[in-house]
Structure 1
Amino acid sequence: MHRVVSRRAVSAILRNGGVRHRNSAVPLSSSNTFHQSADEGNKEKKWYSVLAAGSSNATIKPFNVRNVPIVGSRLESTSAAHDAPGLPAEKYQYQAEVSRLMDLIVNSLYSNKEVFLRELVSNASDALDKLRFLSVTEPDLLKDAVDLDIRIQTDKDNGIITITDTGIGMTRQELVDCLGTIAQSGTAKFLKALKESKDAGADSNLIGQFGVGFYSAFLVSERVEVSTKSPKSDKQYVWEGEANSSSYTIREETDPSKHIPRGTRLTLYLKRDDKGFAHPERIQRLVQNYSQFVSFPIYTWQEKGYTKEVEVDEDPAEAKKDDQDEKTEPKKKKTKTVVEKYWDWELTNETQPLWLRNPKEVTTEEYNEFHKKTFNEYLEPLASSHFTTEGEVEFRSVLYVPSIAPTAKDDIVNPKTKNIRLYVKRVFISDDFDGELFPRYLSFIKGVVDSNDLPLNVSREILQESRIVRIMRKRLVRKAFDMILGITMSENRDDYARFWENFGKHLKLGCIEDRENHKRIAPLLRFFSSQSEEDMISFDEYVENMKPDQKDIYYIAADSVTSAKNAPFLEKLVEKDIEVLFLVDPIDEVAIQNLKSYKEKNFVDISKEDLDLGDKNEEKEKEIKQEFGQTCEWIKKRLGDKVASVQISSRLSTSPCVLASGKFGWSANMERLMKAQTVGDTSSLEFMRSRRVFEINPDHPIIQTLNAACKSNPNDEEALRAVDLLYDAALVSSGFTPESPAQLGGKIYEMMGMALSGRWGTSAQVVPPSHVPETFEAEVVEPAEAGSPKL
């Protein structure tokens, strides 16, 4: 907890020449100064850091700093309107404790230590790029015939990593400006100079912009040494700094053995817990992951080996024996194969990414090989797309549709896959996204995206939400749909069948979550139907097969194709040769309900009430209602709240009755799914049950018999029990679950007993033994009497 110092006390301290903190005086002038300001119209104050040497002409940018001990120096005294009348207001300049600020930058900006190598290699690449640009107008900068490259050498025994580039290097003043000033980016200044001189038309791949990448070295290092020589200077300088220090040193390099012709050599002395980074294999993996496509070659110091034959010392006993046999045949020297180890430079990266090449020059084999190598896949992709977008957002990308779905069952609902690798100016940034570039239903798409315009946070680990990102996402999604559509148009129908088997559920999820792309998703969906139980069909194929007078697309949801095709709801439609789609996946019904229509044709659930097949005969319906109206009321009275109403059905031809869902109620399939939810809403379930509609078939003998019983004796117990059993049978045949399976079983047993006894019982009692037909036992016949068996 920091004490609040009174204004008078601070003034007294400042009059004495400075503020004492940790036994050292803090100068009044500092390049790392802070200002407090408030956004216009916003009462909430924010901290801002001056990101340049000196405070007078510095640019103020947001910088999140918390709990940094702040001390101030007085700038001027003015009369403030908020102070008491007559009392002068004193204005102070904020100053930061640099060691704490460094600690925040290093330990708060980066979430993963291994990115230190990405940042440092990116700085080296920028140095090489600067030299390449400047050498166009100043050829003397390349007078030293040194290749433009980056070399990384490790000493795993001592925990040392050395990164050397042959770039532009730095003068003494540039060391102070770039490494001695936090958040001072030499690359940003260089880009600004290029822009002002109108030379930025060249293909610039400069990466750094925030001026904090160098300090990522302290993520793993306790001490850092920077030895650098600029071609503009004859002297080589060494910058040294430690992780827990607020100061640094700069000296001239006087040891001739450590001189470099041009560029920068960065030496990291690793912390005890981070010495594992000094293993050559690990450095090689990090380079291949983060800096695989940097414009310049990156070499790592690797242990290699070759085999050779060497002589083997003979055993004395065997040698004596060989001497005895020497007279008969010449002696052969014994050898063995050994591996000789040596160290040498090995090229670790590829300087020409596939996505920067002309798509017309890339072969299918190269695309497939890139897919296998980048994503560790062993199967060839179903489709690929290589494209460049220009305009508001410029980026290049190569996308793939894999051949097989991920093995993890939760990937369909997990947007955090590592299928998209994001690069900024060829430098790998991240593959861990939460739906920023692709919605989760397209999370199976794999590929790389490279852009120069993406807004990143300071650590370059997080893609910030912005208009640019939204535009990029939109274009990537469109390209993904184009790829999938291309698979549907393939001559080999098995390709899309394989795609649908693996990723069909993903597209159905898109119907629910992405309303904007319904028109792109709908043509890709596939379903079984009453006329195609073996091969799935598309909506376009269904529409093409529709009857001339058919206005809607009919479907039924069930748990299997067998259940769907045997449902009583299909009887009249099959009779009229009207095709019905079978929705057999749990997600299907919700997906279709979100689509609502396709090409101006509405989706209609045939298990819902008020099904209109376009064949209504009002006069006939009026006659039937007059004939069976009393029976409908009688059945409704018996069933009570189990159903909302009892109606004459227009969809049945062979079944006596069916239980339809209400217009806004749950279908049998949806009710089954809702029951299976971990946290079910029983009140909603009871309400939806009450919306069911009991439909009867007036042409069926059972209904006609009940109609006669209703008119002759509406209180007949046998007829009423028949209504109960009829309802239970309709419940099961319509796909619903009985409220009490045990009671239903009892009714069936009763019916079987009555059928076997030849009468309709008046109760559910067990048939007395006197009414049970006689049973006969077969008489065991001895072998001698086998010719005439008796019963």
Structure 2
Amino acid sequence: MNAQVETFEFQAEVRQLLQLVIHSIYSNKDAFLRELVSNASDALDKLRLAAFRDKDLAVETEDLHIAVDADADARTLTVRDNGIGMSRDEVVQLIGTIAKSGTAEFLKQLKETKDAAGAQELIGQFGVGFYASFMVADRVTLVTRRAGEDTGTKWESGGAGTYTVESVPDAPQGTSVTLHLKPADAEEQTADYTSPWKIREIIKRYSDFITWPIRMAKPASGDDAATEVETVNSMKALWARPKEETTEAELTEFYKHIAHDWAEPLETIRLRAEGTFEYQALLFIPSHAPLDLFMRDGKRGIQLYVKRVFIMDDCESLIPEYLRFVKGVVDAQDLSLNVSRETLQQDRQIQLIRKRLVKKVLSTIKELQSSAAEGSAEKYAKFWGEFGKAVKEGLIADPDNREAILEICSFESTADPEKQTTLREYVERMKEGQQDIYYMTGDSRTVIENSPHLEAFQAKGYEVLVLTDPIDEMWVDAVTGFDGKQLKSIAKGEVDLPSDSDADREEQAKDFAGLLGWMTEKLGESVKEVRLSSRLTTSPACVVGDTHDLAPNLEKMYRAMGHEVPKVKRILELNPTHPLVTGLRKAHDERPEEPGLAETAELLLGMAVLAEGGDLADPAKFIRVLADRLERTL
């Protein structure tokens, strides 16, 4: 049988990535071995899971392990596992290309990252650490056979523009990666990676917690001594160790392993439950958001083990979607090893674990927010900047924990442009007699700060929350209040701020009754009502919604998603003290049939819509009417 050898070109993005990895990414080249061992560990996990799921799968599971072999004479280092392996198609797809969404964005951010640490974070997020092998090797050979298949595949490349793939009939189950190391005196070579003590030191530092045995040949004691093999890692599950028996360095390395991340975690969370049912959990809050945090196919969930046996990656049943950034491990004692994703959703124990995990994560974030300990404020600010948008999804999706989520939220406000505020802090600053928590949603802080709706609140010193995330448009309708205070949009409904006396308002209502009725009739196709405003101080008019109307931005959002949403008519409010409005009232009272009055009413409505950042129904008509009016003033 002649092996079919094919030569492929690396995807353009992979060629760029390889150059970045080889020349500028890694400050510590030892990391290549950690990546290879981590990949081997994942392959063993996947094989054991596949064997549990498919009893007819012809695989060897009696002695699953990772082997590391060094040959100083040949200058090679091989990392071998007898795990799930890869098919020929998988080799081409997984190694020849970056087959994940967001490739262009990934490389763009990678190039813009100035420091090595930041670049390593991005590399880890995309799981392409295999390419780190080319930092220390001028050629890499991979031989693999997928469990259950008869034919293996050999992949080889020098890390330049091409790689070869051929079929091999006698490949063992699993994957072996052989690095043909660069010369020992090469400028880029910082250590001798054929040295047994160096390899052991790297494995102990980075991979001691791996639950599979990592085996190496034991140094012979004499020329005639037989080669012995020893396990060089402890295989102790970190989540099962007492807290005092684990170090921060070990926890950090474990996090990097399960999260495929290069940065240190922001916070570590431990849980242990005993009694009716037992489980242990070791969770981590990352220090930065993954690039797929808001992608539809982004990974979420926690690794599930049963009695130290790996069951599944990304177990979505253990954590709600709004906490999808949390990484970690849950090890349950009483679940079946054959549990599936479908049965997990109905499992009572899983639901109780999930409930406990959520409360613990939220309380940990709350502790960061409220702690006076050194560094906690910075940690919370970092957390909220990275994950706040995702957490706010929970205000809609998780009503049972809504109060706890509200407690940890932070928002911009008009009180201090440089600092965010919690709802608790807002309530403590509320003016005497203030009953509601005021907010306004919009596309940006600039749009909100320049909105006519804000004028009276600024003039009277009332603080307003500035909500600019798209999710803000949705959760404010689901949340009724906080700490006994109602959340109230300053762009909806009537505003009842202390101002003129009731007698003055009644007098104004009489004076403007004719104009308001006439404008309501003339603009009836566009607005549901024209009324006087108590929220304006300098602008002539603004448009507002009824208390329960759909917000304009939310209406646009639904339409963009393909939903049919009925057009919501807004309310036009007039400033009874503005010269344009008082002049219009006088003209209407004296010359009600004058044609130019209708044009002025339309211009007032158009200006109010534009002032809030809205879209005109007929921009061309608005420009034509405005141009005609301006021409008459010349």
Q: Same fold (TM over 0.5)?
A: yes
Matched, 1:732 2:610: yes
Amino acid at match of 2:173: F
- The residue number in structure 1 matching 2:192 is none
Aligned counterpart, 2:370: 489
Match of 2:402, SS state, is helix
Cα deviation for residue 712 of structure 1 reads 1.0
Residue aligning to 2:398 = 514
Whole-Å separation in 1 of the counterparts to 2:529 and 2:492: 13
RMSD, aligned CA: 3.8
Q: 1:68-98: per-residue Cα shift (whole Å, max 9, x none)?
A: xxxxxxxxxxxxxxxxxxxxxxxxxxxxxxx
Corresponding position of 1:203? none
Please tell me whether residue 410 in structure 1 is matched to residue 294 in structure 2.
Answer: yes
Amino acid at match of 1:399: L
The question of whether the paired residues in 2 share the 8 Å contact of 1:438 and 1:477 is answered with: yes
The farther-off stretch of 517-526 and 359-368 is 359-368
Note closer, same or farther for the CA distance 1:541–1:705 as it changes in structure 2 (3 Å cut): same
- Map of 1:277 onto structure 2: 173
Structure-2 change in CA distance of 1:530 and 1:461 (3 Å) = closer
Match of 1:424 in 2: 306
Checking the alignment, whether the CA contact within 8 Å between 1:292 and 1:427 is kept in structure 2 is no
Cα distance, 1:587 vs structure 2: 0.8
Q: Measured at CA, do residues 422 and 160 of structure 1 come closer, stay the same or move farther in structure 2, by a change above 3 Å? A: closer
Note the residue ranges of structure 2 that are not aligned, 5 or more in a row. Answer: 1-48, 70-79, 84-145, 151-167, 179-203, 221-225
Native 8 Å contact 1:280 1:301 kept in 2: no
CA distance in structure 2 between the aligned counterparts of 1:719 and 1:112, rounded to whole angstroms:
84
Q: Is the 8 A contact 2:411 2:422 kept in 1?
A: yes
Paired position in structure 1 for 2:629: 751
**Is 1:659 aligned to 2:540, yes or no?**
no
**Counterparts of 1:634 and 1:152, CA distance in 2:** 87
Q: How does 1:319-718 map to 2 (within 5 A)?
A: 344-347=228-231, 349-408=233-292, 410-411=294-295, 413-414=296-297, 416-417=299-300, 420-433=302-315, 435-457=316-338, 463=344, 465-490=346-371, 491-492=374-375, 493-613=377-497, 615=499, 617-675=501-559, 677-681=560-564, 684-686=565-567, 688=568, 690=569, 692-718=570-596
Confirm whether residue 722 of structure 1 aligns to residue 605 of structure 2.
Answer: no
Letter in 2 for 1:350: S
CA distance in 2, matches of 1:451, 1:507: 26
- Go from structure 1 to structure 2 and tell me whether the alpha carbon gap of 1:666 and 1:374 turns closer, same or farther (over 3 Å shift): closer
CA contact (8 A) 1:152 1:161 kept: no
In the aligned structure 2, how far is the partner of 1:693 from the partner of 1:525?
32
| 1:220 matched residue in structure 2 | 148
Give a deviation string over 1:141-192, Cα, whole Å, max 9, x none. xxxxxxxxx99999xxxx9989xxxxxxxxxxxxxxxxxxxxxxxxxxxxxx
Aligned-pair identity (%): 31
Alignment correspondent of 2:87: none
Q: Say if 1:350 and 1:646 are closer, same or farther in 2 by CA, change over 3 A.
A: same
1:401·1:483 contact (CA, 8 Å) conserved in 2?
Answer: no
Relative distance call for 1:362 and 1:544 in structure 2 (3 A) is same
Residue type of the alignment partner of 1:725:
L
Secondary structure in 1 matching 2:294:
helix
Structure-1 separation of matches of 2:81 and 2:613: 71
Q: Does 1:110 align with 2:54?
A: yes
Paired letter, 2:368: I
Equivalent pair of 2:66/2:81 in contact (CA under 8 Å): no
Contact 1:423 1:430 in 2 (8 A): yes
TM-score (norm 2): 0.66
Shift of 1:519: 1.3
Query: How far does the alpha carbon of each residue in 1:351-384 deviate from its partner, in whole angstroms, 9 at most, with x for none?
Result: 3221122113433333223222333322111111
Quote the offset at 1:112 in angstroms: 11
Aligned residues: 467
The CA distance in 2 between the partners of 1:375 and 1:507, in whole Å, is 19
Shift in Å, 1:643: 0.8
Tell me if the contact between 2:540 and 2:574 (Cα under 8 Å) persists in the aligned partners: yes
Q: Distance in 1 between matches of 2:482 and 2:66?
A: 60
Q: Distance in 1 between matches of 2:513 and 2:469?
A: 39
In structure 1, C-alpha distance between the alignment counterparts of 2:55 and 2:288, rounded to whole Å: 32
Contact 2:388 2:409 in 1 (8 A): yes
1:433-491, Cα deviation, whole Å (9 max, x unpaired): 2x200011111001111121124426899746311110011111112112222321354
Gap change, CA 1:276 and 1:713, over 3 Å in 2: farther
Counterpart AA for 1:110: D
- Per the alignment, do residues 470 and 751 of structure 1 end up closer, same or farther by CA in structure 2, a change over 3 Å counting? same
Q: Deviations over 1:579-615 (max 9, x none)?
A: 0001111111212222221111111011012222355
Q: Distance in 1 between matches of 2:335 and 2:446?
A: 52
Q: Which residue of 1 aligns with 2:77?
A: none
1:529 Cα offset (Å): 1.0
Equivalences for 1:759-774 in 2 at 5 Å?
A: none
Q: Deviations over 1:289-333 (max 9, x none)?
A: 999766xx846476999xxxxxxxxxxxxxxxxxxxxxxxxxxxx
* Partner residue in 2 for 1:234: none
Q: How does 1:295-314 map to 2 (within 5 A)?
A: 298=213, 300=215
Q: How far off is 1:348 after superposition?
A: 5.9
Counterpart amino acid of residue 485 in structure 2? K
